[in-house]
Amino acid sequence: MARPHTLFVQAQSLPWQSGNEPDPRWDVRAKILSKDEETGAYTAIIKIPAGFELPGPVHFRCDFEFYVLDGAFEVNGVEYRKDCYGFFPAGYRRDSNTSAGGAVVLAMFHGFHAPIMGEAPAGLYREDKLITCVDVYNLEWKTGDEGSVTGKPLSPTIFTKKLRFDPDTQEQTFLYAALPHHPPPAVMKGKFGHPMIEEIFVLSGEYVFGDAGRMGPGGYCWWAENEMHGPAGSETGYNLFIRIYGGPLVNKFSSDPAPFSFKPPHAPALPDRLKNYAAPFPWTDPW
């Protein structure tokens, strides 16, 4: 069973759960954004309390990808502060796992992830997949050919910071940003989709789907294969965390025109589990 199509939910509307699935012994809280019941893979916002410690050595049987939203934590002597990114392959040994002041982390587990004490079995860990720590403030925004994530140049109003690319699967993770007053590009006359999965988390600004509504900070998508949405743009600009899963990034555009507004009706496409949390972001009119 694949994860259900989710476009979109605001994380602010979801409840905190005690314990980090599937191991409630962890002294953390989590908001489950999407989950595959068969593989155990899921994405969550995890709140790590001040004084947290998970003694090592310990490893996990699945890949673990993360982006720090607030605070800081430490693994193997490396401090991960706000806006740091990492990718720990399955079997990566953690000798220390602590957080002095607490942290909030966007966490992506690629399978069942209960911690296992000791060394990983031979052949599980691939060091070539490890991305120890990327501080995104040390990366320059790229546009045009340098910033491309599809093989086609970006427009001058779109920028990327590339965090991860897997040559085996063509999967990738990157930040994707646009300047304000960004209408749908000319190629996007109507809706668009992908033959792979696009996972989106809004870090700042607004990302607008003409048929689904406005995503604000904390907005989340698990955009399933061949689901069509849009057009998309932004009045304010945006900074998105994007993960491409299941193959290379390919955009497919409909030739049928579709309406677009910077303030469309709120009409997200949600699975049953999330329909009670479909409230729009609590926009406040300052005037």
Rg of the chain in Å (alpha carbons)? 19
Q: What is the mean pLDDT of residues 151-167?
A: 95
CATH superfamily of 138-277: Jelly Rolls (2.60.120.10)
Share above pLDDT 70 across residues of the chain, in percent, rounded to a whole number: 95
Query: CA 193, CA 146: separation in Å to the nearest integer?
Result: 23
The helix/strand/coil state of 191 is coil
CA 4 to chain centre: 15
Mean pLDDT of all residues belonging to the chain = 92
Question: How sure is the predictor about 285, in pLDDT bands with cuts at 50, 70 and 90?
Answer: low
- At residue 266, φ and ψ (nearest 5 deg) are -85, 110
Query: CA 42, CA 182: separation in Å to the nearest integer?
Result: 31
Write out pLDDT tens, residues 73-90. Answer: 999 999 999 999 999 999
Is the CB of residue 263 less than 8 Å from the CB of residue 220?
A: no
CATH of 14-127, one of 3.40.50.720, 1.10.3300.10, 2.60.120.10, 1.20.140.10: 2.60.120.10
Tokens of 171: 């999967």
Write out pLDDT tens, residues 98-149. Answer: 999 999 999 999 988 778 888 888 889 999 999 999 999 999 999 999 999 9
